[in-house]
Amino acid sequence: MNAQIDHALEEIRRFRPSPEFAAQAVADEGLYDAARADRLEFWADQARTLLQWEKPFTRTLDWSNPPFAKWFDDGELNVAVNCLDRHVEAGLGDRVAIHWEGEPGDSRDITYAELTDEVKRAANTLADLGVGEQDRVAIYLPMIPEAVVAMLACARIGAIHSVVFGGFSADSLASRIDDAEASVVITADGGYRKGRVFPLKPVVDEALGKAEGGTVRNVLVVRRGENEVDWNADRDLWWHETVATASNEHEAKGFEAEHPLFILYTSGTTGKPKGILHTSGGYLTQAAFTHKNVFDLHPERDVYWCTADVGWITGHSYVVYGPLANGATQVLYEGTPDTPHPGRWWEIVEKYGVTILYTAPTAIRSFMKLGRQIPHEFNLRTLRLLGSVGEPINPEAWIWYRHVIGGGSIPVVDTWWQTETGAIMISALPGVTDLKPGSAQVPVPGISIDILDDDGTAVEGEGGGLLVATEPWPSMLRGIWGDPERFKETYWEKFGDKYFAGDGARRDEDGDIWLLGRVDDVMNVSGHRLSTAEIESSLVAHPWTAEAAVVGASDETTGQAVVAFVILKASQVSHVTDPFEASEELRKHVATQIGAIARPRQVFIVNELPKTRSGKIMRRLLRDLAEGREVGDTTTLADTSIMEVISAQVR
Ligand code: ATP
Ligand code: MG
């Protein structure tokens, strides 16, 4: 089969870095030169300069047994010491590490010295509970500082954490506890979401009733929601009675660079989540390198805010490990963007003087839907850099983000990466790269990316194909927990020693990369392979549209036909009275912008789209709907009832 994907959407807007930004930028062209000259030496150099090693490494990469890579493997380091103690020892103990904002409006500022102390106490507590090196600890917490403390306490003692998003059900938690054979669960009584306390400890109790392994000995509970909880005195402990009273003396030892750091399950957009395993030295090197250079981090003056939950890879690499390794000051927010009012995020930006904001297209599009008057009520002038991750950002959303949130002149970086890649792989470097809305642009220095046809030949010209990483990279996954066969099958069977990412992409004449959506979602219309991302971007470029999802549904004449699901902007809903006319107009719009081949067979106007808990559109469910099938597995949906609402609207 020909894997090439047709491309049709043209985007011609370009933004050069301003001279003022470029003059102060952390990154420069020299990074690309150094990486091109000697890729391995480049990464070795980053590992030495960005991190503190207890024992220096002498070997950079061992790729003698692909796909199992070892980076810096004869070196030793302690990840928590790199994120905490060394900053305190360097005299930065009084710098705020975390400005924490609770949803009800309570807040705490935590310095590096305080965070280090707390992590030492938690490390002692876990050790007292018998948690040893390589033991697994499940973390099921809201976005409170204790989540960061728990992760770093595990890292400090060489235990492996498995963070499970606090919105997941007892079943999801139980299956993840079983899969990792966790011996301790760290949770809270409850946390705040949408103005209410949602219970966590009761879900853990239920999950432990369901978990078949019976591996959990203790449950450590942070008091946050003050909600009523059942107590099992043989198993449960309060954080404020154990961690808070534990000693803050803790001697950290260095672990081998390949010591496992964490397991994290993917979002489950395409199927059953996979337990992705990451290790220490290489992971931290690339997390720190990309955090510093992609976000132009000046730790002495920036206030950085990544809105991702710690339950996702973005929360691991760009809330915990990257920023803390770099000594950054950051905001951590517990709640939802619209509680108690729709301007909550912008109020937080104003309150803390946030300078760097990293979020997802789904959030940006939901703000577009509400309108610019909401952010405009707040002072956002401190912002100087914006980032995006999670899905392709449609050019129209990129422009809106830059103008409405960024005031029109600051860089926006679109960062492509995955749970599996551990850190950013493709992104512009602010101050260096000319920016193109909608394109993730270029591999970061030291990363080798190619676009291949199904048979492994590079796609020439501007056609689209399959995105691969052609060389191992420091923060690459080291496997799927407990399933080396699935690891090989999923990522390596297709192209041998090249990593198959599962995403479609194309390269334009300047060498910039455009993500076209997941390979499984590519549509085949009359022999043309069409990208979901391009048609969605075209729909979002129409003034009525806030969000769009397209899928290919089987069609008697064309093989597959494009079916679109569209959410209108709040300000347009009253103008668009006839849904039939609206869908005609949008069909015509796509045909004009992209070509008749991409004209949707149907456009359904809906109020919601099915999304994973991390905000990604689950197209396979829409495909089921478009093809009149029973809707498939919805367990990783943020709201499992949403498909009923959408099917009612479609009918
Ligand atoms: P699963 O693998 O279980 O289906 P998932 O792929 O949604 O879940 P993640 O690792 O959270 O889990 O998401 C990575 C995917 O998100 C990428 O493969 C890509 O499809 C998409 N993605 C992330 N960032 C971008 C981006 N900047 N542009 C385009 N797509 C992106
Ligand atoms: Mg994936």
Residue 390 domain flag: no
Q: What is the pLDDT of residues 338-364, one digit of tens each?
A: 999 999 999 999 999 999 999 999 999
Residue 247 domain flag: no
pLDDT of residue 407: 96
Nearest CA to ligand 1 atom 15: 418
Q: Which ligand is nearest to the CA of 312?
A: 1
Q: The domain that contains 578 carries what CATH number? A: 3.30.300.30
Q: Is position 193 annotated in a ligand binding site?
A: yes
Hey, which of 267, 536, 619 would you mutate to test ligand 1's pocket, going by the most ligand atoms within 8 Å of its Cβ?
Answer: 267
Residue 632 domain flag: yes
Cα–Cα distance for residue pair 481/478, rounded to 1 Å: 9
Residue 635 domain flag: yes
* Beta pairing, strands 76-77 & 275-279: unpaired
For the chain, give the number of residues: 651
Q: Which ligand is nearest to the CA of 440?
A: 1
pLDDT of residue 639: 81
Ligand 2 center–CA 425 separation, angstroms: 14
Q: Is position 331 annotated in a ligand binding site?
A: no
Q: What is the pLDDT of residues 306-330, one digit of tens each?
A: 999 999 999 999 999 999 999 999 9
Ligand 2 center–CA 547 separation, angstroms: 21
Cα–Cα distance for residue pair 205/640, rounded to 1 Å: 22
Q: Which ligand is nearest to the CA of 419?
A: 1
Quote the domain boundaries for residue 616.
Answer: 515-650
pLDDT of residue 580: 87
pLDDT of residue 647: 87
Give the global pTM.
Answer: 0.96
Q: Is position 418 annotated in a ligand binding site?
A: yes
Q: Which ligand is nearest to the CA of 392?
A: 1
Ligand 2 center–CA 270 separation, angstroms: 7
Q: Is position 526 annotated in a ligand binding site?
A: yes
**CA-wise closest residue to 390 among 507, 539, 269:** 269
187 token code pair: 């949770």
Q: What is the DSSP letter of 596?
A: G
Q: What is the pLDDT of residues 76-107, one digit of tens each?
A: 999 999 999 999 999 999 999 999 999 999 99
61 token code pair: 């990469």
Ligand 2 center–CA 269 separation, angstroms: 7
Q: What is the pLDDT of residues 621-642, one digit of tens each?
A: 999 999 998 888 887 788 878 8
- State the pLDDT confidence band at 1, using cuts at 50, 70 and 90: very low
Nearest CA to ligand 1 atom 31: 391
Ligand 2 center–CA 428 separation, angstroms: 22
Residue 487 domain flag: no
Ligand 1 center–CA 267 separation, angstroms: 8
Asked if 143 contacts 176 with a C-beta cutoff of 8 angstroms, the reply is: no
Residue 568 domain flag: yes
User: The tokens 């609402």 sit on which residue?
Assistant: 645
Ligand 2 center–CA 271 separation, angstroms: 9
Ligand 2 center–CA 576 separation, angstroms: 36
pLDDT (average), residues 155-177? 95
Hey, which of 418, 522, 611 would you mutate to test ligand 1's pocket, going by the most ligand atoms within 8 Å of its Cβ?
Answer: 418
Contacting residues for 377 by C-beta, under 8 A, at least 6 apart: 343, 346
For residue 630, count CB atoms less than 10 angstroms from its CB and return exposed for 0-12, middle for 13-18, buried for 19 or more.
exposed
pLDDT of residue 271: 73
Q: What is the number of the ligand 1 atom nearest to the C-alpha of 612?
A: 7
Q: What is the number of the ligand 1 atom nearest to the C-alpha of 501?
A: 18
Q: What is the pLDDT of residues 495-553, one digit of tens each?
A: 988 999 999 999 999 999 999 999 999 999 998 999 999 999 999 999 999 999 999 99
Q: Is position 390 annotated in a ligand binding site?
A: yes
Q: What is the number of the ligand 1 atom nearest to the C-alpha of 312?
A: 11
**CA-wise closest residue to 185 among 246, 129, 223, 260:** 129
24 half-sphere exposure, CB direction, 13 A CA radius: 11
* Beta pairing, strands 184-188 & 479-480: unpaired
Q: Is position 314 annotated in a ligand binding site?
A: yes
Asked if 183 contacts 137 with a C-beta cutoff of 8 angstroms, the reply is: yes
Residue 583 domain flag: yes
Q: What is the number of the ligand 1 atom nearest to the C-alpha of 517?
A: 20
Cα–Cα distance for residue pair 374/409, rounded to 1 Å: 20
State yes or no: pLDDT of 10 exceeds 80: no
Ligand 1-lining residues (CB < 6 angstroms): 266-271, 273, 313, 389-392, 414-416, 418-419, 440, 501-503, 515, 518, 614, 616
Q: Is position 518 annotated in a ligand binding site?
A: yes
Mean pLDDT of the chain: 95
Any alpha helices (H) in 166-297, and if so which ranges? 170-180, 201-210, 239-242, 281-294
Q: Is position 391 annotated in a ligand binding site?
A: yes
**CA-wise closest residue to 138 among 187, 185, 203, 189:** 185
Nearest CA to ligand 1 atom 1: 268
For residue 601, count CB atoms less than 10 angstroms from its CB and return exposed for 0-12, middle for 13-18, buried for 19 or more.
middle
Q: What is the pLDDT of residues 237-263, one digit of tens each?
A: 999 999 999 999 999 999 999 999 999
343 token code pair: 């301007």
Q: Is position 529 annotated in a ligand binding site?
A: yes
Q: Is position 414 annotated in a ligand binding site?
A: yes
Residue 548 domain flag: yes
Hey, which of 165, 176, 269, 278 would you mutate to test ligand 1's pocket, going by the most ligand atoms within 8 Å of its Cβ?
Answer: 269
Nearest CA to ligand 1 atom 3: 268
Q: Is position 392 annotated in a ligand binding site?
A: yes
Cα–Cα distance for residue pair 465/4, rounded to 1 Å: 5
DSSP per position, 272-321: S--EEEEESHHHHHHHHHHHHHHTT--TTT-EEEE---TTSHHHIIIIII
Q: Is position 419 annotated in a ligand binding site?
A: yes
Ligand 1 center–CA 270 separation, angstroms: 10
Q: What is the number of the ligand 1 atom nearest to the C-alpha of 274?
A: 3
Q: What is the pLDDT of residues 451-461, one digit of tens each?
A: 999 999 999 88
Ligand 1 center–CA 346 separation, angstroms: 26
Asked if 197 contacts 227 with a C-beta cutoff of 8 angstroms, the reply is: yes
Cα–Cα distance for residue pair 226/150, rounded to 1 Å: 20
* Beta pairing, strands 190-193 & 196-199: antiparallel
Calculate the CA 315 to chain-centre distance: 7
Hey, which of 165, 394, 616, 619 would you mutate to test ligand 1's pocket, going by the most ligand atoms within 8 Å of its Cβ?
Answer: 616
Nearest CA to ligand 1 atom 16: 390
Nearest CA to ligand 1 atom 23: 390
Structural domains in the chain (count): 1
Cα–Cα distance for residue pair 346/337, rounded to 1 Å: 9
Q: What is the pLDDT of residues 581-599, one digit of tens each?
A: 999 999 999 999 999 999 9
- Return the beta strands (E) in 528-645 as ranges: 528-530, 545-555, 559-568, 602-605
Q: What is the pLDDT of residues 283-300, one digit of tens each?
A: 999 999 999 999 999 999
